[in-house]
Amino acid sequence: MITVPAEQFRHRYPIRVRYEHVDRQNVVHNLRYLLYFEEARVEYLRAMGMPIDQESFVSHDKFFVVRNACDYFMPAIFDEELTVLTRISFVKNSSIGFEHWCLKADGTPAAKGEHVFVHVNEKTDQPDRVPEHLRAMILRYEGEAVSFIES
């Protein structure tokens, strides 16, 4: 039995499985979970207070994805209602770690995702410290649930 630490997650994002999300076996295609996590992550950032517009991830607060991981537990099927839990679990010097759980309506986990993003300088695309305004925003939203790790 897999235990989901749902109490650690403030953000919940509902998704209904659409026809184009499933494969020939009528289960959500494995790649689709990364797209679910991406949708939930953008809504999480919006809820956290980050301005979301055409320039959000291009010319200010630019991040590169450096790690995507997904564990699959139970298939989801067409028209099923899912909920994606999202949180930032850690902030290091230049990186931020996201954690997601995709849950079925009865709370059974369908998948778990872990993702690491590196903040980069908008002009050089080189790693750069996560700005203080983002650190403060994350702390306000997540409180003590997020680990700030300085190296």
Task: Give CA–CA dist 102/62, Å, rounded.
Answer: 26
Which among 136, 118, 115, 137 is positioned nearest to 127, based on CA atoms?
Answer: 118
Question: Among 23, 71, 79, 125, which one carries the catalytic annotation?
Answer: 23
CA angle 109, 111, 42 (to 5 degrees): 110
Active site (annotated) includes residue 61: no
β strands within 3-150, DSSP E? 11-16, 63-72, 81-91, 95-104, 109-119, 147-148
Mind telling me the catalytic residues?
A: 23
